[in-house]
A and B are shown apart, each in its own frame.
Chain A
């Protein structure tokens, strides 16, 4: 309990600075906010999930522990590599090869007394909604767009309108070289990762034919060695970008090809960069972005100041430039633009009858729908082979095809957006 922590003499004064700020209103804090012990109790009882224990994750864990949070969980599937040591400050030479989540959690727990950090070594996809439901706020320091999209759609899907606690604010940070961004996402309420997907410029790709026949740049030679020569000459080995022998082989092949075409500039460093899609990363940028995200976590958890609404970008190549703005929520966002509606159905109704009933619904006359659950294609009108395959389902009862409470997704050519329904059996 929070009171016990403050009361015990040994800790008195430790959180002096933080508690001062939490015990007085500021000019921008909400008028309804009540500073003081209640706020401090809320802070200490807020369970926080950190996704990623890398460059941002190490900073985030430190910052949360020193923001007075007591119960922190961290997920990361990676192990520590030598190239992490220039910024991931919770790791040492001797930790190379160990799981990041475990080493980071142990280090911060040892350094900051009274904080509990629970590591999980694995993928975010290993965990289900029950797991994510236990947290108050989720904070991401990831380098993968795919993982971001997954957690985003999971959190959007978890929002239950009768249970405000099911809304999990998602705070996301990302960096590249001297640049980065921090954003606050309130699933279903504000612009989500999917709404903002076009802000992630896809990596410019070189035409395969250029790589195959008319290379001009050292990178083209490396791509050739990586994508074409490997396939031809080492078909039976699975390429592993962390295997030095594999990288050396690609480097060597690229070098020979470059020599053949009189192209200069293939280096080992460039080979690694191209093959592993390496993004430059430094401690200071991570510090700026991680602290932006954890500052928002503190503000959301305690209401001591307004939170970011909803995007701050940072660029440090020329002076210190930030831009704070509100990214827009997209009406046709495939994740948060069409939330699942609840629909009461008779489990004994056949799929065919159900589809007919969709066509008669006043709000959306779905005349030619195709529909599925996550696991199963229920009925797909086109192409013909799938239609044939799924036609027998039309005669099956809903109870035989879906579980009570399961979500189905419906597309109809008459609508540009798709629909989701959660079926509840009467």
Chain B
């Protein structure tokens, strides 16, 4: 490919300037994905007992704030509550004039002020009413639900979302504690996981392709070089050269730590030291790279798992693009024993022209690998009778990231009730067994869910308070009994105490939110939303607990 440079300078557009600081994280493709997304916030679902108008929903509103600012396409707020005095003390997106009005409308209006590019919709209704419209949910790419919410609302909503493959975040923010779970579709693939750049390097020093091997050969006699030349040979070529010498004298490539250390000394001994600097930077780099880069290619187990998944093995006409490309890459791996070359070359001491030439060798090989994968894909497309063509750009990005792709196996919203599976209960038990565990906060949030469920679902109890002692005692017993359902060993004293502490801390707020903690939870929820919507970076799998009293958080897979 010939050099092509833009002839004129075109400065950034005003949109690029506004979003500059985030485009550096997820680029134009991530931004486009955000702009194509509408997010649904289900922010309350009726009163929580006698003296309450419902969940305050600040964490949800704060999460939306953090999504409106970076420019999602739009949002919908579903919230049947009217604005009370207590809302004004905790929710920033309400004002004096909002008192007595629809909280959905008012928060929607004030959130929209943050970004004129974002559409906002509000419904002062219960979500159950809206779900009677079969198209309502499918207009959204993500659902955020503010808890505590009764089961008869939560479960059908989560189930419909799962059918439509719409991710759901269910969040609790109660006093100093917060927890949230992420429900993802059963397979949630991510191509751009943004690993540490150091871990993405694939230099192929042990199995160079012909052009790379030729470049090392063409160096000629290192001894004959003048000091300047000798001090500027790119370290990858030095290593290739010394490796082939090593192989000739030792019969094989350095394999274990001991051999690699010996090889490293061999490289070091070839550096010239009788110069002005008393050493050579390129040799220093080569020495430093020996242990890191001289290893045969091995397929990461997570990638192997993906290759072995049924979706990858048995493509259909309707398979997602991800699986078609993954399958083509598996074919590539089976043929060559390596993944397509990412093509990037780290910076290293070298003359400009030599570096660019070496870089071009890597780029050309990467391009060739992409072409091979693309050819396989085109073949698959025609075999499967697919009507759409996977974009070249997508294939290229996939090949570049092939060693780090990820498939999250999504699970439902974590809950503790009679239907909870054994795996979740086991994870909870082992979470509780850890010292200083925060799993107890998750349990306390499950208890308040059960309390609210009792209050909202049983007319006889709807005059009780969300802080009703009797309800708490009863629901705690019920959930503790569940914890010993599969494993009858009683909870140890520390775990009991931890649960009691969590209950006490959560009941302190009587179902209310503290702005700081709601804002923090809203930040975390938005962070996960961004990762899910852009399909970049790696989202939570699947539950996070934050303890504001002790300034700590934990992740759990329930």
Contacts and interface: CB of A to CB of B under 8 A. Distances in A.
* Chain A–chain B contact at Cβ < 8 A: yes
Given A280-B25, A281-B21, A305-B548, A17 B555 contact: no
Interface in A89-141: 89, 92-93, 111-113
Given A21-B175, A86-B21, A59 B555 contact: no
Contacts, number: 255
A26 B89 contact: no
Contacts of A285: 523, 527
B308 interface: no
A214 B520 contact: no
A251 B522 contact: no
Contacts of B62: 287
Nearest to B345: A216
Nearest to B178: A291
Given A178-B537, A283-B69, A317-B194, A63 B548 contact: no
A27 B176 CA distance: 12
A272 to B, nearest CB: 7
B514 A288 contact: no
Contacts of B520: 287-288, 291-292, 295
Given A27-B500, A290-B519, A13 B84 contact: yes
A283 B20 CA distance: 13
Interface in B274-311: none
Given A111-B92, A111-B95, A280 B24 contact: yes
Most chain B beta-carbon contacts within 10 A, residue among A244, A272, A278, A318: A318
Contacts of A259: 3, 5
A216 B347 contact: yes
B516 A63 contact: yes
Contacts of B10: 268
Contacts of B176: 21, 26, 295, 305
Given A82-B18, A324-B551, A216 B356 contact: yes
A18 B508 contact: no
**Chain A: number of interface residues, binned into ranges:** 35 or more
Interface residues of B, number: 88
A282 B18 CA distance: 12
B80 interface: no
A255 B18 contact: no
Interface in A45-94: 59, 62-63, 66-68, 82-83, 85-87, 89, 92-93
A11 B86 CA distance: 9
A157 B530 CA distance: 43
Interface string A1-45: 000000000011111111011001011110000000000000000
B19 A86 contact: yes
Contacts of B510: 20
A321 B527 CA distance: 12
Contacts of B546: 322
Given A63-B519, A259-B5, 8 more contacts: A11-B85, A12-B85, A28-B505, A28-B549, A62-B519, A269-B23, A291-B517, A322-B552
22 contacts: A14-B86, A17-B90, A17-B514, A21-B176, A26-B176, A28-B501, A28-B549, A28-B550, A62-B519, A63-B516, A66-B89, A67-B514, A86-B71, A216-B355, A259-B5, A282-B21, A284-B66, A285-B523, A291-B517, A296-B551, A298-B514, A316-B524
10 smallest A-B Cβ distances: which pairs? A287-B523, A17-B512, A291-B520, A288-B523, A27-B501, A66-B515, A284-B526, A295-B516, A14-B89, A291-B519
Interface of B: 3, 5-6, 9-12, 14, 16-25, 56, 62, 65-66, 69-71, 84-86, 88-90, 92, 95-96, 113-116, 175-176, 193-194, 232, 347-348, 350-353, 355-356, 359, 500-501, 504-505, 508-510, 512-517, 519-520, 522-524, 526-528, 530, 537-541, 544, 546, 548-553, 555
